[in-house]
Amino acid sequence: MDITINILLTIATAATPLLIAAIGELVVERSGVLNLGVEGMMIMGAVGGFGAGYLTGSPWIGLLAAIVVGALFSLLFAVMTLSLATNQVATGLSLTLLGLGLSGMIGTSFVGQPGVRLPNLDIPVLTDIPVVGKLIFGQDPVFYISIALTAAVMWFLFKTRTGLTLRSIGDSHTSAHALGIKVIRYRYLAVIFGGACAGLAGGHLSLVYTPQWVENMSAGRGWIALALVVFASWRPWRVLAGAYIFGAVWIGQLHAQAFGIPVPSQFLSSLPYLATVVVLVLISRNKRLTMMNTPASLGQPFVPDR
């Protein structure tokens, strides 16, 4: 039973950064912007969060720094694509490459340094409840933030007027502009929110999941988060389910290696990425499902003067 509980706890920890990054990207794409720089923003959030936490001794300051770094990095993408109308795909890829290189340079002095870990909650009586106590009341604070964030985004997109406006921009920015909606302003805010989420996800990696700095520690999670948005058909609750499925695959391959299952370790390590490819192939076969919630203006530049 203890082993099972520990596995479930690690699945939740592994799924949390995927969920946060994917929820942020979902809001960005609902506004009609495609930001492929999630991986770069995550790794910059990881190094920024670890550095701030290490220098101040406070994981909370580290977490805040990760959010700020991710938001600032996304602002660079927003200026390039929204104000200068550069290609969103090329700019997003460049952002990822920049983040990977810049984080490696910044983090050189942090390699091998002891990190500060954000402690799990410990609520008297509730945490001691058999089986469910640790699973529900003994997680790290970012886990609860991720669940609350998912619920808040779901409410915002489908229950508020501002959310409806954001979705209308993603479906037809030309029509929204004709109605007097500030398309660029909304998209700026959406992109910055997505960057802040990616930064928070990166901070979780270096302050909770593995409280240390390792170069390229995001390990492709940003790309999996992008795939999760498509997997979920741009629906927040499906992102939540998908994140935990991918988290289970991620942790499953680690435990399979620990249990000595006679399968090459290289194959087991590739399972999360293989699962991503398989899911995307299966989704692409159902064009009706793919197109049902896809923002019609996704990836298309918008310049009011044209």
The answer to whether residue 302 is domain-embedded is: no
Single pTM value for the model: 0.91
**Residue 262, SS3 per DSSP:** coil
Determine, yes or no, domain membership for 299: no
102 in a structural domain: yes
Q: What percent of the chain has pLDDT over 70?
A: 91
Domain membership of residue 277 as a residue range: 2-292
Report in angstroms the alpha-carbon separations of 129 from 2, 11, 50, 67, 126.
Answer: 13, 20, 33, 33, 6
Residue 237 in domain: yes
Mean of pLDDT over the chain: 88
Phi-psi region of 299 (alpha: psi -120 to 50; beta: other; left: phi over 0): left
Which pair of structure tokens corresponds to residue 293?
């919630």
CB atoms closer than 10 angstroms to residue 111: 11
When divided into structural domains, the chain yields a total of 1
304 in a domain, yes or no? no
Task: Give the tens place of pLDDT for each residue, 109-158.
Answer: 898 888 899 888 877 777 778 777 778 888 889 999 999 999 999 999 99
* Per-residue pLDDT reduced to its tens digit, 178-188: 999 999 999 99
In the prediction, which pLDDT does 98 show? 95
Residue whose token pair is 């994981």: 59
Residue 306 lies in a domain: no
15 part of a folded domain: yes
Is there a domain that residue 301 lies in? no
We report the CATH number of the domain holding residue 80 as 1.10.3470
